[in-house]
Amino acid sequence: MNLVDTHAHLDFPEFDADREEVLERAKAAGVVAMVNVGTDLASSHRAVALAVQHQQIYAAVGMHPHDAKELDGAALAELRELAQQPQVVAVGEIGLDFYRDRSPRDVQLRAFRAQLAWAGKMGKPVVIHDREAHGDIMEILGGWARGLRASPLTGRLGVLHTFSGDVAMAEQAIELGFYISISGPVTYKNAYRLAQVVQALPLDRILVETDCPFLTPHPHRGKRNEPAYVRLVAEKIAALRGISFDDLAKATTANAQSLFEFEL
Ligand SMILES: [Zn+2]
């Protein structure tokens, strides 16, 4: 059974002591590919290095909204250069975080727009981080999508990772050409809204992820997350939709390949 963890941070120090064992456990759990997502310059470099070392790891490079204040011209040029590596399948994670507000909002908006423009020009899909910023995210992505009508990215513009909106927002994003990625919180007891989203979406638009080391699914909640646990997310989605785990795994893996255009 093949699964893809479409959003992992294996470069983070939480994995320094046992990264190889974590990758072994992922393999044993049927995780055939992982996208390691950069959050700033250093982590984007580490993401690419991991992808070069491990055939099953792909990289995304970009500046997280928390670090948006670091995105000057030189940093953007460095990210651009890094994105030339063949292991880089997306730009991310980029977006808006109005929950923590670690960078001022106007700075976040500027960095987000600059990286979208770059991704569009380069023809790479984007990995979107959205926390408490649904309105601005959808408005900006809508404008970006309209400007990309005749692009090879049409229909595979990117993914809203660890989706936290409602069914209407998910449908709107899919209409624009985005995928919706689901992580550990779907396994939590009070995830009513997320359960509705998972049940309403077309199967060909759903991705699974861990966002490890964060958002550990039940029953490991409270401990470090790792790619092997993407299986728990997939099992929960299959149960919510009343389909077999096999069918869910097959569909989400095909979706990841369509979005990121990698071979397995
Ligand atoms: Zn992340």
Angle between helices 192-200 and 167-176 (to 10 degrees): 40
Q: Cβ distance 48 to 88 under 8 Å? A: yes
Mean pLDDT of 57-82: 96
Q: Cβ distance 245 to 44 under 8 Å? A: no
134 vs 46: CA distance, rounded Å = 30
Listed residues: CB within 5 A of ion ligand 1: 211
Q: To the nearest whole number, what is the mean pLDDT of the chain?
A: 97
Per-residue pLDDT, 118: 96
Contacts of 208 (CB under 8 A, 6+ apart): 3, 4, 5, 6, 181, 182, 183, 230, 233, 234, 237, 252
- The alpha carbon of 94 and the centre of ligand 1 are apart by a number of angstroms equal to 10
Q: Give the number of other Cβ atoms within 10 Å of residue 165's Cβ.
A: 19
pLDDT band at 263 (very low <50, low <70, confident <90, very high): confident
* pLDDT tens for each residue of 108-164: 999 999 999 999 999 999 999 999 999 999 999 999 999 998 888 999 999 999 999
- The alpha carbon of 8 and the centre of ligand 1 are apart by a number of angstroms equal to 7
- The alpha carbon of 99 and the centre of ligand 1 are apart by a number of angstroms equal to 15
- The alpha carbon of 7 and the centre of ligand 1 are apart by a number of angstroms equal to 6
Q: Which two tokens stand for residue 206?
A: 């759903």
Mean pLDDT of 193-212: 97
Per-residue pLDDT, 192: 94
Per-residue pLDDT, 264: 83
- In 3D, which of 196, 161, 201, 157 has the Cα closest to residue 182? 161
pLDDT band at 1 (very low <50, low <70, confident <90, very high): confident
Tell whether omega for the bond before 213 is within 30 degrees of 0, i.e. cis: yes
Mean pLDDT of 55-71: 96
- The alpha carbon of 142 and the centre of ligand 1 are apart by a number of angstroms equal to 22
